[in-house]
Structure 1
Amino acid sequence: MYRTHTCGELTISNAGQEITLAGWVQTVRKFGAITFIDLRDRYGITQLLFGEELNTELDSQPLGREFVLQATGKVAERTNKNPNMATGDIEILVSSFRVLNKSALPPFTIQDETDGGDDLRMKYRFLDLRRNPVRRNLELRYAVNRSARNYLHENSFMDIETPFLIKSTPEGARDFVVPSRMNPGQFYALPQSPQTFKQLLMVSGYDRYYQIVKCFRDEDLRADRQPEFTQIDCEMAFVEQEDILNMFEGLVKRIFKDVKDIDYTDAVERMTWETAMWTYGNDKPDIRFGMKIGNLKFPLHTFPGRQAHLQTMIGAGESGFAVFDNAETVLAIAVPGCSEYTRKQIDELTEWVKRPQIGMQGMVYIKCNTDGTYKSSVDKFFTEDKLKAIADAADAQAGDLVLILAGKEERTRKATSELRLELGKRLGLRREDEFRLLWVLDFPLFEYAEEDNRWVARHHPFTSPKPDQIATMIDNDPLIANADKYLEHPYANIKANAYDMVLNGNEIGGGSIRIYQRELQEKMFAALGMSQEEALHKFGFLLGAFEFGAPPHGGIAFGFDRLCAILGGSETIRDFIAFPKNNSGRDVMLDAPSSIDDKQFEELQIKLNLK
């Protein structure tokens, strides 16, 4: 055998035992007639001591970093113990050794703190995977996987595989397509999710399904997005929304306990989509800290169904300050304890909101001094009483700094949200060791695409309306005669029977109660501008299945990679994927994607027409 023990398990209790280890050479240290070698494997590091006789042999065949080595010897107590190593109390007095394989000089140091940049480490990812931080990330990923599977198995869910080669269907992103040699001119698509398959499984009577499954979307990439990613995909039959929320709160709490030893006993807060957008500026709010957004001037129309408000704290067109008077909306946040910010600090924040990624023209501030006075960059436009009223509207306290942005509604809301998150980070309010869960509910079922003059699904076309709004959808024609009147259409107020789970400002899961009646599903397709012929061509299999006793059902999918990254304290999911793609969607280790040879094109009956 190559080894009797691993490099991470031997302790002082093994002293005197004859053992054999195998692993990679981490370091070589020569001290006269003896040599110390740190031998590493997945489990840890053990120090080897080569005496004078073997030291001479090492001189004739020196060992280098990352050589694969087998060593046999006796476990002995170390004289200079290392309390920072699990095996720091012992060393191995080597009696014989064998080089199992030599190694070229690694292109970067394989240590916790490496000198390799991202591109270099991705090119040699098989070496990067030897480093402890990467190994710990993959161990955490495996722990999340194992915990989820155990919980779902205990709750009678069945792991059922679904195909990877499927039909291209519109689900919101571009498909990856695969040509079929046996069916020239026709193509498979890689699934963006197993959505229709899991619904068909509900029709088939498998009332609790799950997969930890690969999904594929041809999208532009960023830190939390990869062309292939993993979901914890789940579906249940004979359930209502409350059943789903309770079941999957339990799943996430179980993962917290198993992986992080956190007893999450608090009730998971629930918030409507509209409240999230008005209070935090986005639909995945980080509720670890306050700093809620105060709306100082409601626009004429913001969200479907909200009544218009014009006269507010600043007065509509009456303040004499054109920036506020002419703005569609004016939003404020109160930054706790920051009234002492210097002009330099405030100017730096002003430049921050002017960056192209944020897109604002400037920023107004009000200092709520601890002596009860107010100092602002717009003192000449507002009395101190008015400044106090604005600060109160932002829920500011003495010692706070009120920051105000004004402009077009959507841009201003997004900018205020980003400013809130940035200040939360700077002030240490977004702690990586604190976890806060939130359900966001009651999303709009539809969004209106003005350029196409039609409705689009906010989630996906299989999401059911709230039960009391199904009749509104069935009884009304989705067509809009005048695009300016879409907010007055009944569809603008229909809420989806959908839910997102948010963790620390990140959406980690989303789902819905599904449509399961053919008439309603056909109405949804028609609302999205799909003809009856197109609906039958793309989804005839699903519509047909609904005629054979489809049960009420719903489900959820968790972003597995993103959940792992949050639990591991990282901002990028690539750290928790063994072989990730870069921001251009390339695997630089394999040099993929790559061209194929002419013979393959001939077999597929495909010609390239690059322009």
Structure 2
Amino acid sequence: MNEIIYRTHNCGELCKKDIGKNVVLSGWIQKLRNLGSITFIDLRDYFGITQLILSKKLKKKNPELGKEFIIKISGIVGERVSKNYKIYTGEIEVFVSQLEILNYSTKPPFLIEDQTDGDEVSRMKYRYLDIRRNPIKNNLKLRHKISLEIRNFLSKNGFLEIETPILINHTPEGARSFVVPSRIHSRKFYSLPQSPQLFKQLLMIGGIDRYFQIVKCFRDEDARSDRQIEFTQIDCEMVFVNVNDILSFFENFIKHIFKEVKNIQLEPFKRISYSDAIKMYGTDTPDIQIDIKFLELKDFFFKRNSFFLKKKEFTMGVSIPNRSHYTCEKINFIIEQIKQKELEIETIFWLKYFPDKTFFSSMNSFMNNEEDLVKYFKANPGDLLFIFYGIKTEKKHKLNQLRLEIIHCLNLIEKRKKTLKPLWIIDFPLLEWNENIQKYKPFHHPFTNPKKEDVHFLEHFPENVRSQSYDLIINGVEIGGGSIRIHNKNIQNLILKHLGLSTKEIQSQFGFFINAFEYGVPPHGGIAFGLDRLISILEGKENIKEFIAFPKNNSGKDLMINAPYFLEKNKLKELNLLL
């Protein structure tokens, strides 16, 4: 019995050296161009496109041919007259001698081309068609390449890949968890993991030296362009390490990924504390591609007895490099743009520090210490200084909005997109007070170790305690985060009690974990990176859905399979969910 041969070559590999060969190709019809005597077909498969030539006679035998039909052809490779050097197969074409339609296609809901006319809703509803397009297909190839590079790098550095459970007990970790009803155990529920946090710590207690996992995690929260309700995490943990050990190792890890995958050489990662990030940028996820940061000025004016400014609760300044040549009209336009954003700034002053070290300022009527001011700013000749006063202390978070508006007004957005600036944010608060529930909440999670020098605050002044934690920020996007974990049972219990948990609740929710502390917990720490975000940063894109094979929309719905959906009554009854 003769076996069916669907192809001798793929649609992306034939070139000039193959001229004269008899070949068999199979794929989808990308385009048809009927010129009367002959018909040109672009045949597409996973690997690329090959141009076919059909005689009038052969086309007449197959009059119904259309886009996205799947065909198998036999023919001879010839040299292409009108060459297309943009594709690998652009110097050849195949003269078709036989054609077989393997499957038919209705008209697609959008163009299956690099530049499609499909909107996001259509593309998600027919995602299997969207995957045929090069942009999505290439994104999935990139995802595979990165995942492979991650596995190779970590494996070579002594990490063991271990799978942790998906069906677990609910534990409070900050976000809402998805729950799964149990049919066998009536009215009991599993929870889907927000992260493998406790299991990877238990692996360290179990004597594993270095663990990693590329793992699915689930959070029942609002989706958006850079967040999905199910997402993929690069999860890592190590024993006998300190903060510097982890930051140094994973800086090299990220540098390796960027270099191997995209040939991008990253500069050394800066490290700044959480408190400094808030002071300078108004956010703990600052984009530092453009060197614009705020400086508190209240002390400066107070010491110089500038009554008009020192009486204000909060006075901030910012130095803009190489902008002293701006006209007063342009500066006033920028100020008006900023005021329209309702950032609760009373007044904005400015000062030009010219290259010849002279000054011109909107504060001339009451300012006589410009030289001291530029020294305090550490400004360079040619800089333009802005001073914002009247910002309320509790509104410091608006500084980030102000900074982004300044960047926008100065037309620095395009420049910002050309560089990659990684940054470690360290020393986050351990706990924060939540007024709504009148309880402390963990800033990250309740298993983060406090800084050694702050432990004495823990019992009576927990809000003053900093943690041994860190986040990696690249261009204003949080790529990953982690901490040194608690390995002291007393500290762990105290933190859980600060969260308002009783001894009984601690035992009920975390008993299995707390019991493990009786058997020797090594100092350990780890980090987790968002794979979807990491890939999007590598490609310079913002929408992580473009790098996920079958993503949810911003409402957490899968438009293709129409999930989530209702369960029938008999299924609800089986799960003991009927009221």
The two structures have a TM-score, normalised by structure 1, of: 0.87
Structure 1 residue 454: Cα displacement: 3.4
Match of 1:158 in 2: 160
Match of 2:51 in 1: 47
| Structure 2 counterpart SS, 1:145 | helix
Match of 1:402 in 2: 385
Aligned mate of 2:550, from 579, 586, 608? 579
Structure 1 residue 148: Cα displacement: 0.5
Structure 1 residues 416 and 472: alpha-carbon distance in aligned structure 2, compared to 1, 3 A threshold: closer
| Structure 2 counterpart SS, 1:312 | helix
Give the partner amino acid of 2:173.
Answer: E
Match of 1:121 in 2: 123
Structure 1 residues 428 and 157: alpha-carbon distance in aligned structure 2, compared to 1, 3 A threshold: same
Match of 1:486 in 2: none
Structure 1 residue 373: Cα displacement: 5.7
Match of 1:481 in 2: none
* Counterpart Cα distance in 2 of 1:248 and 1:494: 25
Match of 2:301 in 1: 313
Match of 1:511 in 2: 482
Structure 1 residue 375: Cα displacement: 5.2
Structure 1 residue 262: Cα displacement: 2.5
Structure 1 residue 410: Cα displacement: 5.8
| Structure 2 counterpart SS, 1:557 | strand
* Counterpart Cα distance in 1 of 2:335 and 2:122: 37
* Counterpart Cα distance in 1 of 2:435 and 2:16: 73
Q: Does 1:419 align with 2:397?
A: no
- Kept in 1: contact 2:204–2:239 (CA 8 A): yes
Aligned mate of 2:519, from 548, 571, 575? 548
Structure 1 residues 369 and 519: alpha-carbon distance in aligned structure 2, compared to 1, 3 A threshold: closer
Give the partner amino acid of 1:534.
Answer: E
Structure 1 residue 263: Cα displacement: 3.6
* Counterpart Cα distance in 2 of 1:506 and 1:379: 40
- Kept in 2: contact 1:7–1:41 (CA 8 A): yes
Aligned mate of 1:368, from 349, 352, 355? 352
Match of 2:443 in 1: 458
* Counterpart Cα distance in 2 of 1:32 and 1:91: 18
Match of 2:291 in 1: 290
* Counterpart Cα distance in 2 of 1:344 and 1:196: 59
Structure 1 residues 377 and 605: alpha-carbon distance in aligned structure 2, compared to 1, 3 A threshold: farther
Structure 1 residues 117 and 215: alpha-carbon distance in aligned structure 2, compared to 1, 3 A threshold: same
* Counterpart Cα distance in 2 of 1:316 and 1:528: 45
Match of 1:448 in 2: 433
Give the partner amino acid of 1:329.
Answer: F
CA offsets per residue over residues 383-442 of structure 1, 9 Å max, x none?
Answer: 3x3566555544444443334444454665333323334544631575444222222222
Structure 1 residue 496: Cα displacement: 0.8
* Counterpart Cα distance in 1 of 2:262 and 2:401: 29
Structure 1 residues 291 and 164: alpha-carbon distance in aligned structure 2, compared to 1, 3 A threshold: same
Give the partner amino acid of 1:186.
Answer: K
* Counterpart Cα distance in 2 of 1:12 and 1:360: 68
* Counterpart Cα distance in 2 of 1:363 and 1:224: 35
* Counterpart Cα distance in 1 of 2:361 and 2:423: 35
Aligned mate of 2:31, from 27, 31, 45? 27
| Structure 1 counterpart SS, 2:507 | helix
Alignment of 1:62-77 (within 5 A): 62-77=64-79
Match of 2:509 in 1: 538
Aligned mate of 2:498, from 527, 538, 543? 527
* Counterpart Cα distance in 2 of 1:316 and 1:122: 61
Structure 1 residues 275 and 560: alpha-carbon distance in aligned structure 2, compared to 1, 3 A threshold: same
Alignment of 1:66-465 (within 5 A): 66-264=68-266, 266-297=267-298, 311-313=299-301, 319-320=307-308, 327-341=312-326, 346=331, 349-350=334-335, 352-353=337-338, 359-360=343-344, 364-368=348-352, 370=354, 382-383=366-367, 385-386=368-369, 389-390=372-373, 392-409=375-392, 412-424=395-407, 426-428=411-413, 430-465=415-450
Give the partner amino acid of 1:177.
Answer: V
* Counterpart Cα distance in 1 of 2:503 and 2:486: 17
Structure 1 residue 456: Cα displacement: 2.0
Give the partner amino acid of 1:330.
Answer: T
* Counterpart Cα distance in 1 of 2:155 and 2:184: 39
Structure 1 residues 11 and 433: alpha-carbon distance in aligned structure 2, compared to 1, 3 A threshold: farther
CA offsets per residue over residues 245-304 of structure 1, 9 Å max, x none?
Answer: 22212211111122111244x43322222222222222233333311212122xxxxxxx
Structure 1 residue 604: Cα displacement: 1.6
Structure 1 residues 450 and 254: alpha-carbon distance in aligned structure 2, compared to 1, 3 A threshold: same
Give the partner amino acid of 1:3.
Answer: R
* Counterpart Cα distance in 2 of 1:430 and 1:214: 35
Match of 2:464 in 1: 493
- Kept in 2: contact 1:214–1:230 (CA 8 A): yes
- Kept in 2: contact 1:121–1:127 (CA 8 A): yes
Give the partner amino acid of 2:164.
Answer: T
* Counterpart Cα distance in 1 of 2:273 and 2:333: 34
CA offsets per residue over residues 349-383 of structure 1, 9 Å max, x none?
Answer: 45654566x74456624151636565556665x33
Structure 1 residue 469: Cα displacement: 3.6
| Structure 2 counterpart SS, 1:93 | strand
Give the partner amino acid of 2:268.
Answer: A
- Worse overlay, 241-250 or 94-103: 241-250
Unaligned runs of 5+ in 1: 298-310, 479-488
* Counterpart Cα distance in 1 of 2:85 and 2:349: 52
Give the partner amino acid of 2:86.
Answer: N
CA offsets per residue over residues 538-582 of structure 1, 9 Å max, x none?
Answer: 000000111112222111101111111100110121121111111
| Structure 1 counterpart SS, 2:297 | strand
| Structure 1 counterpart SS, 2:183 | coil
| Structure 2 counterpart SS, 1:547 | helix
Q: What is the aligned-residue RMSD (CA, Å)?
A: 2.5
Give the partner amino acid of 1:38.
Answer: D
Structure 1 residues 281 and 431: alpha-carbon distance in aligned structure 2, compared to 1, 3 A threshold: same
Structure 1 residues 349 and 517: alpha-carbon distance in aligned structure 2, compared to 1, 3 A threshold: same
CA offsets per residue over residues 285-333 of structure 1, 9 Å max, x none?
Answer: 3333311212122xxxxxxxxxxxxx4337799544xxx5665322222
Structure 1 residues 30 and 492: alpha-carbon distance in aligned structure 2, compared to 1, 3 A threshold: same
Match of 2:42 in 1: 38
| Structure 1 counterpart SS, 2:397 | helix
Give the partner amino acid of 2:446.
Answer: P
Give the partner amino acid of 1:402.
Answer: L
- Kept in 2: contact 1:350–1:363 (CA 8 A): no
Structure 1 residue 199: Cα displacement: 0.7
Alignment of 1:581-600 (within 5 A): 581-600=552-571
Q: Does 1:565 align with 2:536?
A: yes
Give the partner amino acid of 2:181.
Answer: P
Give the partner amino acid of 1:509.
Answer: G
- Kept in 1: contact 2:343–2:402 (CA 8 A): no
CA offsets per residue over residues 581-611 of structure 1, 9 Å max, x none?
Answer: 1121111222222211111111122236xxx
Number of aligned residue pairs: 572
Structure 1 residues 99 and 429: alpha-carbon distance in aligned structure 2, compared to 1, 3 A threshold: closer
Unaligned runs of 5+ in 2: none
- Kept in 2: contact 1:353–1:415 (CA 8 A): no
CA offsets per residue over residues 499-537 of structure 1, 9 Å max, x none?
Answer: 222222222111111112222211111122211111111
- Kept in 2: contact 1:353–1:362 (CA 8 A): no
